[in-house]
Structure 1
Amino acid sequence: MAVAVIITSLAVFIITALVHSKTLNEVRKKQCYIKVNKKSQDRLDGGWKKFEDTGSEYLNTDHPFADDLDIFGKNSLFQLINSTTTSFGRKKLSDMLLMNKLPQKEEINVRQSIVKELASKVDFRQNMEIEGSFDNKGKGDPSEFIEWAKGKNEKLTRPYMKIISILCPLVLIASIIIYFTTYAISKVIPFAMILLNIVVLRLGKNDMAEALNTIYEIKYNIVKYFKIIRIIDNETFVSSETNNLKNRLNKNNIKASDAMNELSDICTKISDRSNMIYFLINILLLWDYHLIYRLELWRRKYGSHIEEWFDTIGDFEAFSSISNIGCDHEEYSYPHIEQSLTISAENIAHPLIGERAVSNSFSLERSKSIILITGSNMSGKSTFLRTIGINMVLSYLGSPVYAKKFNTPILHIYTCMRIGDNLEENVSSFYAEILRVKILMNAVKNNEKVFFLLDELFKGTNSMDRHTGAEILLNQLSKKPCLGLLSTHDLELCDLEETNSRVSNYHFKEHYDNNEIKFDYKLRRGKSTTRNAVYLMRMAGIDI
């Protein structure tokens, strides 16, 4: 009777514990679902600027455009769109944004097709993010696991190891049965076999430690990769481009999801080894050897595919992040990639400013390849330059852009905008500008097709040298296969339009209402005829 009570109580306890664990997981997953949806809402109403992951470690002032166009860091494009949960996805997204290798038109078209389809698959993208965030202990570094998967341990698959792992348990079990049923043998024999099995387990301790460390890494760091693979594998895609990406998980009759299910089963069995029941079973059956043997066979069969599978996850996460833009903003349009050296935009605006952004239209072509933009302080010159630059970056990512229409060729982007003194390297802002311009000119001399954005160039020197330097630079650039914009307060530089047919003047203006300065941020043809520096000085308390 007492035994029955104990067994019943134990069964009730186990069932209750399992139900509690399942319920707790469901609650936590729902909380994660709410968090992911809250994040999506924050992207729409401006709350994204509080997202913790800004990608600041990718900031590099030497990059041709990333710092000036707010690609990384606080209030950046990365901060807005990033929904990756794995280290592969995060690295893939950052590489695409840095654009160290300029994509070709065919690649951009493929990206657009994938982004368009993923933008419509909200549940799929959210499920990936939820599974990747659930029980998240960080982005998870799979590098050690990948290296382990590529290797092998010859000792674990030698024939004698297999014989020992089968023969010793059989002899032990047989001796126990014979002893307790017939008493035909001495109890020393089963005890001796138990000691022998313990010795065998001790002899394989180092090999098992390597495998077990890998299992713990799987359990705590990269289990999310397995879950995301299952989500991708279970999803149906329409476009051939997205299916081609998915098919990287199923090649040569090897299915990634099946491999991960098999590995998860092994992991589950090994992770139970800390309990007393496992300890007894291990001595009886040399269970560690059987599981580690399975693990060794698994990595020999699938190990060479792991990196490509994880890389595919990274691609899906990166494209999912980019597709957040298309999903959130139906008013955006997909750009047309031009073959000719022509840029045109209708109602283009800055995606990081959101609904407050003022749109403008403009065009550049080989015969009119440079736009000079003048205007008073705070009138919108620098923002307009960044508007064009960041929308070009979005174009190359395969993303829709914040414009009614946008046509752009594939050009290397170079900027010189946010320049300051570098005290650590003893570099003045003027010399820093010179270095940036040198990079631009080297690219042009190497026959790169270039798009440049220059903001208040050579402001670190006197007005005469600034004017002369800018004029010479623009004349040189106008002879090359490049397009670009330059903002300036130097109104005399606008005379260049009369001597160089490839230069056009545009401006922003301000007006005053009840003695308050107002801006409409609209781009207009011609050079500026207004200025506001004196007004701003008076606002600062300077009597003029």
Structure 2
Amino acid sequence: MSNSSSPSESAAGAELDGSASDRQRERETLDSCEEARTRYTDRLSGIDSELEQFSATDSKLGTLRVGLFFVLVVGIGFSTTTGHPFWIAIAIGALLAFLVTVVRNEAVRTEIEIRQNESRTLRRLSRRLDRDWTSLASDSIGQTSDAIRLDDRQRYLADDLDLIGDASLFQLVSMAATTPGQRTLANWLTSPVDPDIARDRHHAVRSLAAEREPRLRFYTLAREVGTSTGDPESFVQWANSPLWLPSRRWLVPWANLTAIVSVLCIAALVLATLTENRDLTRLSFFALIAIAVVNLSIASLMLGPVAQIFSIAIQSRRSVDDYAELFQSAELLPEDAPEHHATNRLADRIRRTLLDVGDSGDDGGSAGLAMGQLASVAKAGSLKHSAATFLIYLPLQAFGLWDVRVLRRLEAWQQRYATRVDEWFLALGELESLLSVAALADEYPHWASPEWIDDRSGGADAGKEAILNCQRLGHPLLRDEIRVRNDVSIGPAGTLLLVTGSNMSGKSTMLRSVGLNVSLAMAGAPVCCSRMRLPPIEMATSIRVSDDLSQGVSFYMAELNRLAAVVEHARELHASANQEPAHTPSASGATSRRRLLFLLDEILQGTNSRERQIAVTRVLGMLVESGAIGAITTHDLELADEPELLRIAHTVHFRETITPDADGDERMTFDYRMRDGVSPTTNALRLLEMVGLGEK
């Protein structure tokens, strides 16, 4: 008896094996997400317990502060009226105990703030796994509209594919709390990239995924500085702004003069007390009062802008220390390079910017060391913000204009480092973006690493490798337990994917699944596929188009304008690819030829059926002639029969299943599985009936 099997039996066996393998991958993905969720929940429980303990301690210390202050007031009152040494000792002891309690209480409150920020960070991580979009949008670092700057192409792409905004890919990926981090990540998700850069990003992301504790520490510190008045964007603006003191030069010598005179007056006051010289006592006392009144008036009337500068540049010593630690986190970046690369240029550049010393070998080149120097200025500038040190700050300000002295040191730092601050924070934004994407790589270890095809062929072979192939493609914004996966292949050049199917069957979701995963690949992230191979591409879409009554633009004209922009984009890339050199050479010396990936959903619905078929065919012909690859969806089955489309299109479809329920009424279900061929069904009239608008 022969052991051979028929082709159909082999195919069936392969399909069963594939289904079992698919189910295994789904279980592994769900298990890894559940493991991450459990890890976050356990850590949150520990933090909540610590917060309860710190809150109880804070309450006790607050009560103790009130009690000690009352004793201090009573001691001062009795010591003044009686002059008895006992009450003097009570007043001094209460003052010392009060100051110690204040210092301890502030330390406890600092710990509470740190734990609260860590708790918010962990909750955001957990809510991403749950796809809890409402909570993510309400988070302070989830409100990003003011921070992100996109051009028109990026904006159209972001709107069509849900890349930015509520319930978007950005909300899923982003743990960025600073403006540079949010802006960089948004640009990575919406901008094309050469394969070598994408590989560099991905290699760094995979390495950072294992650094769980340092990443959590980074997210927490970034949240702290990103939500403060001294956020990076404000800090950069201050560093590049004109100096405040040079136009008020007299303040520095005046501060020095009043400090010297005050010291002399205090010495004279002590001498007068010892010699019982009342005239000298009165003179010294009134001189000190005069100096204090003048200096405090100057501080009140002239130094308002200085307080604003301090709130941005040195809001607190802790925030400056946070910057120094964030910069130092560049040490987490890998020192090795992706396979077949001589170096990881992105990681090396970030490390060099944030960690290395200058060419001359001095400490001025290191961002971390520069922030360490700024921390000493912040320590002096933060005296007035602490109840424990305010009693020290007040006489320093009254008799020596302390704020002017601090500002002088601050502006000396500004002069030295202003030209480097922009570069530091751009590098910090890239580091924060990599660490954000790394969280996704850690939580979804079974998502695939994208494989980039270097499409550098020319002549007759150009475009043969331009195939976007996704095995078990899933929509990353859907919850893991409801996600349906499909194998999708788009290309090579000269062809397109025509997706047919009835309403609600999954056509638009498939388009967005492609676009979202390409965006992930460009950002260096893992992709929601079991395998993904893609050439160097740029994306253009027409999915969500709206009219603009303020400009007199109808829906149909808005669609035409969008399609014209897509065709123009394809032609630009085609013309660029035919130039020598086509693009910037890669590390290997060859050039990558980008082509357009277009994703079009039910286009040109604003005209009659026959004209629509002609117009759609013409637009698609222009795109294919320009070397673009892409996919278009339609529920117009006559469009799929167009001879020109039959020549270049690979047609697939989604379908619905209609079954009667227990009452005999029709029930429509969708499996969201993509199949070859034209859709055999339509459902518009059935849907009409199901909502009560059918014929009686």
User: Do the two structures share a fold, i.e. TM-score over 0.5?
Assistant: yes
Higher normalized contact order (CA 8 Å, seq sep 6+, divided by chain length): 1
Aligned equivalent of 1:352, options 469, 477, 485: 477
Distance in 1 (alpha carbons) for counterparts of 2:527 and 2:624: 27
Aligned to 2:669: 518
CA shift for structure 1 position 439:
0.4
Structure 2 counterparts to residues 445-460 of structure 1, below 5 A: 445-448=571-574, 449-460=595-606
Distance in 1 (alpha carbons) for counterparts of 2:477 and 2:213: 25
Is 1:116 aligned to residue 116 of structure 2? Answer: no
Does the 8 Å CA contact 2:316/2:382 hold for their aligned counterparts? no
The CA deviation string for residues 291-317 of structure 1, in whole angstroms up to 9 with x for no partner, is: 333223222222322222222222222
The CA deviation string for residues 97-153 of structure 1, in whole angstroms up to 9 with x for no partner, is: 332xx3222221221122222222222222222223348755755555434433335
Q: Secondary structure at the match of 2:550?
A: coil
Aligned to 2:424: 309
Distance 1:41 1:336, change over 3 A: same
Q: What is the aligned-residue RMSD (CA, Å)?
A: 3.3
Aligned equivalent of 2:243, options 129, 147, 152: 152
State which drifts further: 516-525 or 471-480. 471-480
Does the 8 Å CA contact 2:447/2:530 hold for their aligned counterparts? yes
CA shift for structure 1 position 521:
1.2
Distance 1:56 1:215, change over 3 A: closer
Distance in 1 (alpha carbons) for counterparts of 2:229 and 2:291: 43
Distance in 2 (alpha carbons) for counterparts of 1:506 and 1:221: 60
Does the 8 Å CA contact 1:368/1:504 hold for their aligned counterparts? no
Distance in 2 (alpha carbons) for counterparts of 1:293 and 1:364: 62
Aligned to 2:380: 269
Distance 1:296 1:207, change over 3 A: farther
The CA deviation string for residues 405-461 of structure 1, in whole angstroms up to 9 with x for no partner, is: 101122221111122333333322211111111101112232342111111121111
The CA deviation string for residues 207-227 of structure 1, in whole angstroms up to 9 with x for no partner, is: 754433211234559964651
State which drifts further: 4-13 or 344-353. 4-13
Aligned equivalent of 1:126, options 208, 216, 225: 216
Does the 8 Å CA contact 1:375/1:528 hold for their aligned counterparts? yes
Distance in 1 (alpha carbons) for counterparts of 2:540 and 2:237: 38
Distance in 2 (alpha carbons) for counterparts of 1:235 and 1:472: 51
Aligned to 2:637: 491
CA shift for structure 1 position 467:
1.0
Does the 8 Å CA contact 2:452/2:536 hold for their aligned counterparts? yes
- The unaligned stretches of length 5 or more in structure 1 are none
Distance in 1 (alpha carbons) for counterparts of 2:479 and 2:218: 26
CA shift for structure 1 position 202:
6.4
Identity value in percent: 26
CA shift for structure 1 position 347:
0.6
Amino acid at match of 1:333: A
Does the 8 Å CA contact 2:320/2:375 hold for their aligned counterparts? no
Does the 8 Å CA contact 1:56/1:74 hold for their aligned counterparts? no
State which drifts further: 10-19 or 290-299. 290-299
Distance in 2 (alpha carbons) for counterparts of 1:286 and 1:538: 81
Does the 8 Å CA contact 1:413/1:452 hold for their aligned counterparts? yes
- The unaligned stretches of length 5 or more in structure 2 are 1-85, 336-345, 456-465, 575-594, 661-665
Distance 1:189 1:305, change over 3 A: farther
Distance in 1 (alpha carbons) for counterparts of 2:208 and 2:467: 30
- Taking structure 1 as the reference length, the TM-score comes to 0.88
Is 1:342 aligned to residue 488 of structure 2? Answer: no
CA shift for structure 1 position 285:
4.6
State which drifts further: 4-13 or 244-253. 244-253
Aligned to 1:71: 163
Distance in 2 (alpha carbons) for counterparts of 1:78 and 1:328: 16
Does the 8 Å CA contact 2:314/2:381 hold for their aligned counterparts? no
Structure 2 counterparts to residues 129-144 of structure 1, below 5 A: 129-134=219-224, 137=227, 141-143=231-233
Distance 1:498 1:10, change over 3 A: same
Does the 8 Å CA contact 1:85/1:139 hold for their aligned counterparts? no
Distance 1:69 1:225, change over 3 A: farther
Is 1:260 aligned to residue 371 of structure 2? Answer: yes
Distance 1:472 1:82, change over 3 A: same
Distance 1:292 1:60, change over 3 A: closer
Structure 2 counterparts to residues 330-479 of structure 1, below 5 A: 330-340=445-455, 341-355=466-480, 356-366=482-492, 369-448=495-574, 449-479=595-625
The CA deviation string for residues 473-510 of structure 1, in whole angstroms up to 9 with x for no partner, is: 22232222110101112222223467754321111122
State which drifts further: 105-114 or 231-240. 231-240
Does the 8 Å CA contact 2:315/2:378 hold for their aligned counterparts? no
Aligned equivalent of 1:20, options 96, 100, 105: 105
Amino acid at match of 1:313: L
Is 1:248 aligned to residue 361 of structure 2? Answer: no
State which drifts further: 3-12 or 193-202. 193-202
Does the 8 Å CA contact 1:497/1:504 hold for their aligned counterparts? no
Amino acid at match of 2:215: R
Distance 1:277 1:105, change over 3 A: same
Distance 1:475 1:235, change over 3 A: closer
- Taking structure 2 as the reference length, the TM-score comes to 0.70
The CA deviation string for residues 54-104 of structure 1, in whole angstroms up to 9 with x for no partner, is: 5456698863421110112221112222222222222222222332xx322
Amino acid at match of 1:473: V
Is 1:543 aligned to residue 695 of structure 2? Answer: yes
Q: Secondary structure at the match of 2:377?
A: helix
Distance in 1 (alpha carbons) for counterparts of 2:268 and 2:314: 41
State which drifts further: 508-517 or 196-205. 196-205
CA shift for structure 1 position 172:
4.6
Structure 2 counterparts to residues 79-228 of structure 1, below 5 A: 79-99=171-191, 102-134=192-224, 137=227, 141-143=231-233, 145-150=235-240, 151-152=242-243, 155=246, 169-170=259-260, 172-174=262-264, 176-177=266-267, 180-181=270-271, 186=280, 190=284, 194=288, 195=290, 208-218=303-313, 220=315, 224=319, 226-228=321-323
State which drifts further: 181-190 or 388-397. 181-190
Q: Secondary structure at the match of 1:362?
A: strand
Aligned to 2:68: none
Distance in 1 (alpha carbons) for counterparts of 2:614 and 2:571: 21
Distance in 1 (alpha carbons) for counterparts of 2:127 and 2:235: 35
Q: Secondary structure at the match of 1:68?
A: helix
State which drifts further: 168-177 or 208-217. 168-177
Distance 1:114 1:206, change over 3 A: farther
Amino acid at match of 1:149: A
